[in-house]
Amino acid sequence: MQDETVNFRCGFAAIIGRPNVGKSTLMNRILGQKISITSRKPQTTRHRILGINSTETSQAIYVDTPGMHTQGKKAMNRYLNQAASTALKDVDVVLFVVSGLKWTDEDQAVLERLKQSDVPVILVVNKIDRLQKDALLPHLAHLSGLMDFHTIVPLSAQTGESVENLEAEVEKLLPVAAPYFPDDQITDRSMRFIAAEIVREKLTRSLGQELPYEMTVEIEAYETEGNLVTIHALIWVARPGQKAIVIGKGGAGLKKVGQEARIDLEKLLEQKVLLKLWVKVKEGWAADERALRSLGYTDD
């Protein structure tokens, strides 16, 4: 056993960046399946989630994080920034993800935070499938002067282009160590958690601009009997008017969300799923520290 693991590498890689740069899409691409939910709306990711990628030579444990942002003063905003910042502790490498040719004040704020850390940083320039190469090269030259990055990896998390180059660079920076997790484990999160996140993803994609940030999902029951998984999910909103929006005319909105979530869950679980959804109001939950803790938003 010692001979097998003497050159084995294992460690943690934090995926950091402002909202909506493709951090969750990148982790899902590396793992080969959906663990972190995605949408076009910023701040879709609300929790730190571990994605475990085991190969014959290494086990890279990726830490997907909420987007670091400078706007919003509610308890939820503070929680998201804290969750992202604490992910920088005790990791072996940081993947700083930026989006194509864009560079915003929030990117700069993340950069300044990373300059205070002594962890090696790989700059990941995502979404290159949307760019012309003649525009990308001078941009990479500019970015290389912003900080002493370990390396810069342009890639597309959406198509998978050059993602294997990033994985190779990450492996080089992991310490020689035995694996922390079994080689068939891909996340530290329970299926109850993932089920709640999948329901929230479908809601986030189907609702308007503001409502997703005042909505969360709690799993009240998760039971397996034979080839059937029964899941009872409670959707919390912040105001009575939002309940009607989530349910939709004649219940059509809630039915659509339930159908889409069930399809994803059955694909992930490879079992039949009976998914039941309810909507309730918890006024001001996103601004209430106690309510956040009761709904699972804890710095774990």
Q: Do 244 and 135 reside in the same domain of the chain?
A: no
pLDDT for residue 91 is more than 60: yes
pLDDT for residue 157 is more than 70: yes
Q: Which residue has the tokens 């190969």?
A: 55
Q: Give the chain's mean pLDDT.
A: 83
Mean pLDDT, range 153-170, rounded to an integer: 96
Q: Do 28 and 142 reside in the same domain of the chain?
A: yes
Q: Do 167 and 103 reside in the same domain of the chain?
A: yes
Provide the residue type at 194 as one letter. I
pLDDT in tens, 27-38: 989 998 877 765
Q: Do 153 and 40 reside in the same domain of the chain?
A: yes
CB atoms inside a 10 Å sphere around CB 85? 14
pLDDT for residue 79 is more than 90: no
Q: Do 155 and 274 reside in the same domain of the chain?
A: no
What confidence category does residue 282 fall into, taking pLDDT thresholds of 50, 70 and 90? confident
Mean pLDDT, range 163-181, rounded to an integer: 96
Q: Do 13 and 77 reside in the same domain of the chain?
A: yes
95: containing domain: 2-173
Cα 87 to Cα 213: distance, rounded to the nearest angstrom: 22
Q: Do 196 and 164 reside in the same domain of the chain?
A: no
Specify if 265 maps to a domain. yes
Residue closest to 216 by CA, chosen among 242, 234, 232: 234
